[in-house]
């Protein structure tokens, strides 16, 4: 016989103002099966919880209904209290009389009636509830970091510092990401490579970190604590174990190709490392340009290699790794100038992206830090920077603000003025957004001390007048049109989600927004968790952000991973789907609708091991209890524990009886 | 200049009327100035296109309706095409013109003569007859010999023709009469409401 207690909460005046709580608790006491009912000012407070615990013990309750706020708020609190008092936590249910009653009504009598209905429903449900147990899942103590930019590097280092082995997968042949291509960083103007390369070296020296460069994620299976990732190690044509990175091959290679790392401004060889500090410092052969691989000629690199590391017959290899948690730090790409024909992008060589400008002034860049404009190598005496190119432009490109352009443009004006002391530099802006530590001061410094002239307005077009470029814009502060003859135009183009992010998100079962950036589980309280348990996000994979934000998020994700992998087994909510194997006909409807790929077919065998028939089988580790499968089942064979048909119909009947 | 807003100006009324007349939402504008930057007629304007939108946002209808700008816009749509926020600036100019006409505000450019000439030629022939239209424009604007030296050359190059084409002139005349009546009625109504 059920012995149920009802606890009605006032929530101060939140509930008590529109609901007669004492009347509700009094009437609830008369519902069959209810042996104890009480109202209290704040059930979630410490005395409130003690009241619940004492009542469970004194009245020997088998179930409890707490009528208060949404279960999203305090279900954990009350279930924990019930557990402490010796009751199965799943025998406690909450009736939401705040969000679903007092906050949406103003008539006290009606509110009270509805409260009693809600309590009656939950009492009927609790009567049919079964004690459930938390699900225990063993954990693989290894992590996978996807993306070897500064965020991925930081995440890998922090996870390894906690004693957990890490696999760091990078698509390019070296880790380092975009930060490795930058010259100096705002707001301190310290050299980007000087602060990044020590971290890269640390990664390569850490015995717990395995770098898989020039590799991509092929497939991810499994669930939190037990992922199985298949990684495609793309054909590199160089045996990284034999190779010593001596550099003879790329010195002797006769093929010169445009370098991706130099943003198309410099050259590389067909066998190459992207930049001198590359980690791992092992070259790869670019099969599209290598003479041996395209025309079966040359073969010089193989001849000169002292360790015989070159293998022209190399193929892609698939490697499987088992990990407990995944961090996605896939970064961004920037829009190419060719997307902006009105600014002469793609037509004029001297219209460059900010990342190209970064290479043009960088001491390790193609001109070794000597500023030359791409078309004729002339020193640019007047430079125009254009902000919000592709950003804040919902009609044509992206509606979002790329966040970092305001800061790096201020920095680039300084870099320019440090190279060309009497050069003119103009910046077209709409708003200056400098919301970071020492950021506003930095932008003021660019304008006050470093001589950048800011012009408030957008640029309409860029065209060529003889040797010069002419920028036509507006100055909205004086309400006039502006024409600037200049030598170089730098476009602060928008940050975009990188290529292949959607495919990766689908492999991982995580969501992305309309711009292709990955979506966090909650914008405020779960900013680095994805919608899939055990998959964490950091850096520009989420949305445009700067280096400090990316690094701190990466450390945050690492803390989450270490927390998850600190236990030998994980406890998971007992609300999962289960299959009645006697009635399941293996129609596979549930398998098709399950968004978490948690259901598979299972063979039912006789004693001899012959397969008699198949039934659906739920993997409790993967199931999140969303309930999508239950309505899809034509034979009602799949149900959700804690939300069975019997329980839900009891609720509806309790409501309909009146 | 002192901008007096608050109780004196009802922002919503003007905004709603402009939205109805122009078919675009001026609240979207964030004043980047791209319309002004590319406007080929900006040199003739007293207020730049982006400022027209700004003054409209502030509900300053006297300022915008009495400006030269709305009459010097040539509807090339450079602004509307480039606007990052999808504001149809050309539509705003058009709407403001109509609002000005409805309030009997005299246009600030000679465009009004051209429009008058255009209308009377259409009224006569049902189609455009360019020599007649130019002639009437010159009469109205009191510049009788304006562009006349160009005439023979244009004739020679067949840019203009003396031949008169007419097409369903009667029906168009009826249409225009009705439109005139409707406009007069509307004008009375607005005057009555004042």
SS3 of A512-537: ECCCCCECCCECCCECCECCCCCEEE
- Model confidence pLDDT, tens digit, residues B126-173: 888 888 888 899 988 888 888 888 888 998 998 888 888 887 888 999
| A483 touching chain B per CB within 8 A | no
pLDDT above 60 (res A466)? yes
Closest CB to B48 among A459, A472, A479: A479
Q: Looking at residue A266, what is its pLDDT?
A: 92
Task: Spell out the domains of chain A, with CATH numbers in brackets.
Answer: 4-132 (3.40.50), 143-231+318-329+530-572 (3.50.50.60), 235-315 (3.30.70), 333-496 (3.50.50.60), 577-641 (3.30.70.3270)
When pLDDT is cut at 50, 70 and 90, the band that residue A30 belongs to is very high
The ranges assigned to domains in chain B are 11-102, 111-193
Average pLDDT over residues A198-223: 94
pLDDT above 80 (res A603)? yes
Cα dihedral value A38, A42, A48, A52, nearest 10: 40
Q: Looking at residue A621, what is its pLDDT?
A: 80
pLDDT above 70 (res B11)? no
How close is the nearest chain B Cα to the Cα of A525, in Å?
31
Closest CB to B86 among A388, A395, A461: A395
Q: Looking at residue B142, what is its pLDDT?
A: 85
| B42 touching chain A per CB within 8 A | yes
Entry pTM: 0.81
Average pLDDT over residues A499-523: 94
In chain A, the percentage of residues whose pLDDT exceeds 90 is 90
Q: Looking at residue B110, what is its pLDDT?
A: 79
Q: Looking at residue B141, what is its pLDDT?
A: 85
Residue A138 bridge partners (DSSP): A569
- Model confidence pLDDT, tens digit, residues A301-350: 999 999 999 999 999 999 999 999 999 999 999 999 999 999 999 899 99
Q: Which residues of A touch B30 (CB under 8 A)?
A: 392, 430
In chain B, the percentage of residues whose pLDDT exceeds 90 is 36
Q: Looking at residue A237, what is its pLDDT?
A: 95
Q: Looking at residue B194, what is its pLDDT?
A: 54
- Model confidence pLDDT, tens digit, residues B79-111: 999 999 999 999 999 999 889 988 888 887 777
Helix (H, G, I), strand (E, B) or coil at A51: helix
Q: How many CB atoms lie within 10 A of CB A70?
A: 13
Q: Looking at residue B16, what is its pLDDT?
A: 85
Q: Looking at residue A229, what is its pLDDT?
A: 96
3-state helix, strand, coil in chain A (%, to 5): 30, 25, 45
Buried b / exposed e over A131-165, threshold 16 CB at 10 Å, is ebeebebebbbbbbbbbbbbbbbbbbbbbbebebb
Average pLDDT, chain A: 93
Pairs of CB atoms within 8 A across A/B:
69
Closest CB to B37 among A392, A396, A481: A481
Q: Which residue has the tokens 């007992």?
A: A574
Q: Which of B41, B45, B53, B84 to probe the A interface (max A CBs under 10 A)? A: B84
pLDDT above 90 (res B12)? no
pLDDT above 90 (res A96)? yes
Q: Which of A476, A478, A482 to probe the B interface (max B CBs under 10 A)? A: A476
Closest CB to A458 among B33, B39, B51: B33
Residue with the larger pLDDT of the pair A222 and A592: A592
* Chain length of chain A: 658
When pLDDT is cut at 50, 70 and 90, the band that residue B60 belongs to is confident
Tell me how far apart the alpha carbons of residues A245 and A236 are, in angstroms, rounded to a whole number. Answer: 14
Nearest to A652 by CA among A48, A173, A125: A125
Average pLDDT over residues A50-73: 94
Q: Which residue has the tokens 């992998």?
A: A565
Q: Looking at residue A91, what is its pLDDT?
A: 95
Average pLDDT over residues A5-9: 95
State the fold for domain B11-102: Fumarate Reductase Iron-sulfur Protein; Chain B, domain 2 (1.10.1060)
Q: Looking at residue A340, what is its pLDDT?
A: 95
- Model confidence pLDDT, tens digit, residues A105-157: 989 999 999 999 999 999 999 999 999 998 888 899 999 999 999 999 999 99
| B38 touching chain A per CB within 8 A | yes
Give the contacts of B149 (CB within 8 A, at least 6 positions apart): none
Average pLDDT, chain B: 87
Q: Which residues of A touch B41 (CB under 8 A)?
A: none
Q: Which residue has the tokens 């990955």?
A: A518
| A393 touching chain B per CB within 8 A | yes
pLDDT above 80 (res A658)? no
Q: Which residues of B touch A479 (CB under 8 A)?
A: 36, 47-48, 50-51
Residue with the larger pLDDT of the pair A212 and A622: A212
pLDDT above 70 (res A95)? yes
A159-163: list long-range contacts, CB under 8 Å, 24+ apart: A159/A327, A159/A558, A159/A561, A159/A562, A160/A206, A160/A208, A160/A209, A162/A558, A162/A562, A163/A208
Signed CA dihedral, A398, A401, A405, A410: sign only: positive
Average pLDDT over residues A400-405: 95
When pLDDT is cut at 50, 70 and 90, the band that residue B192 belongs to is low
Please judge whether B84 and A472 are an interchain contact, meaning their C-beta atoms are less than 8 angstroms apart. Answer: no
């Amino acid at each position: 016989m059920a012995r149920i207690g009802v606890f009605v909460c006032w929530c101060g005046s939140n509930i008590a103002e529109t609901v007669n709580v004492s009347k509700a608790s009094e009437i609830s006491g008369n519902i069959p099966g209810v042996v104890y009912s009480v109202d209290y000012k704040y059930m979630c407070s410490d005395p409130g919880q003690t009241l619940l615990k004492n009542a469970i013990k004194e009245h020997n309750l088998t179930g409890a209904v707490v009528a208060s706020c949404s279960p999203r708020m305090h279900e954990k609190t009350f279930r924990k209290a019930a557990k402490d008092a010796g009751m199965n936590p799943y025998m406690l249910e909450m009736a939401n009389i705040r969000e679903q009653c007092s906050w949406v009504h103003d008539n006290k009598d009606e509110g009270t009636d509805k409260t009693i209905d809600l309590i009656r429903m939950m009492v009927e449900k609790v009567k049919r509830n079964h004690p459930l147990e938390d699900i225990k899942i063993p954990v693989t103590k290894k992590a996978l970091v996807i993306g070897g930019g500064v965020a991925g590097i930081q995440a890998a280092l922090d996870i390894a510092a906690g004693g957990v082995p890490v696999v760091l997968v990078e698509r390019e042949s070296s880790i380092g990401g975009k930060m490795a291509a930058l010259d100096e960083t705002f707001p301190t103007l310290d050299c980007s490579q000087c602060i990044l390369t020590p971290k890269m070296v640390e990664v390569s020296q850490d015995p717990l970190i395995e770098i898989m460069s020039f590799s991509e994620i092929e497939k991810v299976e499994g669930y939190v604590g037990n992922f199985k990732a298949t990684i495609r190690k793309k054909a590199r044509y160089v045996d990284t174990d034999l190779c010593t990175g001596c550099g003879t091959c790329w010195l002797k290679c006769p093929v010169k190709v445009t370098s991706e790392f130099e943003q198309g401004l410099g050259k590389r060889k067909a066998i190459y490392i992207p930049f001198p500090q590359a980690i791992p410092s092992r070259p790869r052969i670019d099969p599209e340009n290598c003479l041996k691989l395209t025309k079966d000629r040359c073969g010089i690199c193989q001849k000169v290699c002292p360790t015989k590391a070159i293998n022209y017959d190399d193929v892609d290899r698939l490697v499987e790794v088992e990990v407990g948690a995944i961090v996605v730090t896939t970064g961004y790409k920037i829009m190419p100038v060719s997307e902006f024909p009105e600014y002469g992008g793609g037509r004029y060589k001297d219209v460059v992206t900010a990342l190209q400008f970064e290479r043009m002034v960088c001491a390790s860049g193609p001109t070794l830090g000597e500023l030359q404009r791409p078309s004729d190598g002339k020193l640019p005496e007047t430079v125009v920077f254009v902000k919000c190119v592709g950003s804040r432009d919902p009609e044509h490109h992206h509606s979002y603000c790329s966040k970092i352009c305001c800061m790096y443009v201020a920095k680039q004006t300084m870099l320019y003025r440090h190279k060309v002391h009497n050069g003119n530099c103009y910046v077209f802006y709409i708003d200056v957004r400098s919301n970071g530590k020492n950021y506003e001061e930095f932008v003021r410094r660019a304008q006050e001390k470093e001589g950048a002239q800011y012009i408030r307005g957008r640029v309409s077009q860029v065209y060529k007048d003889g040797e010069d470029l002419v920028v036509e814009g507006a100055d909205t502060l004086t309400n006039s049109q502006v024409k600037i003859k200049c030598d170089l135009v730098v476009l602060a183009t928008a940050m975009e989600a990188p290529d292949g992010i959607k495919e990766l998100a689908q492999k991982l079962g995580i969501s992305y927004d309309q711009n292709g950036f990955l979506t966090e589980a909650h914008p405020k309280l779960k900013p680095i968790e994805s919608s899939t348990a055990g998959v964490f996000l950091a850096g520009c994979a989420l949305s445009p952000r700067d280096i400090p934000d990316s690094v701190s998020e990466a450390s945050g994700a690492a803390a989450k991973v270490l927390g998850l992998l600190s236990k030998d087994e994980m406890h998971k909510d007992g609300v999962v789907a289960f299959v009645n194997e006697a009635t399941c006909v293996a129609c596979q409807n549930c398998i098709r609708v399950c968004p978490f790929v948690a259901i598979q077919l299972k063979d039912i065998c006789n004693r001899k091991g012959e397969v008699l028939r198949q039934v659906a089988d739920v993997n409790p580790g993967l199931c999140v209890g969303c309930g999508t499968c239950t309505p899809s089942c034509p034979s009602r064979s799949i149900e959700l524990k804690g939300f069975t048909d019997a329980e839900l119909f009891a609720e509806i009947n309790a409501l309909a009886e009146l | 200049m002192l901008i007096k807003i608050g109780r004196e100006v009802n922002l919503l009324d003007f905004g709603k009327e402009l939205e109805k007349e122009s078919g675009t939402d001026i609240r979207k504008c964030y004043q980047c100035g791209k319309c002004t930057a590319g406007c080929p007629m900006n040199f003739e304007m007293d207020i730049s296109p982006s400022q027209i939108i700004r003054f409209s946002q502030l509900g300053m209808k006297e300022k915008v309706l009495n400006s030269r700008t709305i009459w010097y816009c040539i509807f090339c749509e450079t602004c509307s095409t480039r606007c990052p926020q999808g504001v149809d600036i050309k539509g705003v100019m058009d709407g403001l013109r109509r609002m000005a006409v409805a309030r009997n505000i005299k246009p600030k450019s000679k465009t009004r003569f051209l429009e008058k000439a255009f209308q009377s030629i259409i009224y006569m022939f049902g189609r455009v007859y360019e020599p007649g239209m130019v002639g009437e424009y010159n009469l109205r604007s009191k510049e009788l010999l304006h562009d006349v030296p160009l005439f023979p050359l244009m004739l020679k190059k067949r840019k203009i023709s003396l031949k008169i084409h007419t097409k369903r002139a009667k029906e168009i005349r009826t249409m225009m009469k009705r439109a005139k009546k409707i406009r007069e009625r509307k004008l009375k109504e607005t005057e009555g409401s004042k």
